[in-house]
Amino acid sequence: MKTKNTLFYKQNQTYLLNFSAEEVSSDTSMFLAEKIERKHHLIKDISKSIIDKRDPVLIKHTYEDILKQRVFLMMQGYEDANDANHLKNDPVMKSIFKKDLASQPTVSRFENVIDKQTIFKVLYGWLERYVKSLEGRDKVIIDIDATDDPTYGAQQLSLYNGYYGQFMYNELLFHDGETGQIILPVLRPGNSHSNKWYVSILKRIVRAIKSQYPNITIIVRADSGFSNAPFYKLADDESLFYAIGLATNEVLKRRVQRVVTAVKHLYLSKKEKYQHFISFQYQAGSWHSPQQCYSKIESTGIGMNVRHFVSNMPEMDAREIYFGFYVKRGDASENRIKELKNMCFSDRLSNHSFWANFMRLIISSLVYEMFLIIKKMIKKTRFTRAHKWQIDNIRLYLLKAGGTIKKTAKRIYFKISKAFVYKDLLIELAFQ
């Protein structure tokens, strides 16, 4: 046999292999990302902040082209810059980008041309875009949280963090607690404390919002790592509402000791679950004024759990503030950071330059925002089971769809299998 194409025999059938099928792609649903970008101009708007100083005669891919390629490929699960080398013959890629994909060196040069001034321009543009999205709203919840990004090379400002016990970068995220939008993504040196820079950044966010919507209510929500004197001063100056965790100390331990003793005796000793809240005025030595503090003293049945928090939320008691508002940051902020980090690859900050890695964080945030738009689109459909999908689910069930491309002089057909499980959902999204 000149051509060996027989794989094996099973019962009465011969299993054969050849490569004569039409061009097939595993990323046919990438057209959805293209439709979203054409409608919302998310990538286009951000790329305007990046000045291209290259010789126009020698340019094959604009910075917008490269940024778009990076975002679209990461949406499909291709987090490495050199993945483009393996996708250069993909029919969907050719149809979407209308030119050859930018190579890994081109992408790397783009990321490494980014400097401090460019990052600041991008962030101001990002914030301006977010503020415009608040039209018609009377309230905004700002969730603040940080996450670690372990580093394994010689990246600039990759420093040892004693709390996490590793060399790392420290990512600071401001989220909209109602919509999930990233208000601002910030990359910090690895040895940064949780509250480093955040008050000055928050001040800019608040003032940007109030310059457009002076009567909007702003509520800040964060854990105990963000409780400090400058924040409470800012909250008073800007009339902010807040619910902030408070780390325990000897003063607070003494303040709740009688209640803790009683709960231990009456409930923990009997292995019963019980919760009790108390409220009191408290002022740390560095604070400019006393704040209303609350403590939750809880018997879990197997141990004691004492939590403290500070809040000025009006017309709400301690239980309402804690369970009705504060703990919701777990989904509104912490789960969204998990999506950004684990599903949008914000932990892949492996460039040498700090500012190039800051740009990578911004690219991952763009990927997250694109998926957030898809989530909103899904919630408008009748497929209620899909309303709670996370980014990984959307990528696996919708975007990674196998199909073929048919081209004519005036039309391009994306042809997906009639057996595709979520074809009805994809149809609804495609024509929204």
How far, in Å, CA of 329 to CA of 334, rounded?
7
Return the percentage of the chain with pLDDT > 70, whole number: 99
pLDDT, tens only, 338-375: 999 999 999 999 999 999 999 999 999 999 999 999 99
pLDDT for res 378: 97
pLDDT band at 17 (very low <50, low <70, confident <90, very high): confident
Residue 1 has pLDDT above 60, yes or no: no
Contacts of residue 28, defined as CB under 8 A and 6 or more positions apart, other chains included, come to 92, 401, 402, 403, 404, 405, 414, 415, 416
Residue 225 has pLDDT above 90, yes or no: yes
Side-chain-side CA neighbours of 198 within 13 Å: the count stands at 29
Instruction: Show the tokens assigned to 254.
Output: 């003494």
Q: Which residue has the higher pLDDT, 191 or 6?
A: 191
Q: 10 Å Cβ neighbour count for 139?
A: 12
Every domain of the chain with CATH number 3.90.350 lies at 116-343
pLDDT, tens only, 244-274: 999 999 999 999 999 999 999 999 999 999 9
Question: Which CATH number is 116-343 given?
Answer: 3.90.350
pLDDT for res 3: 65
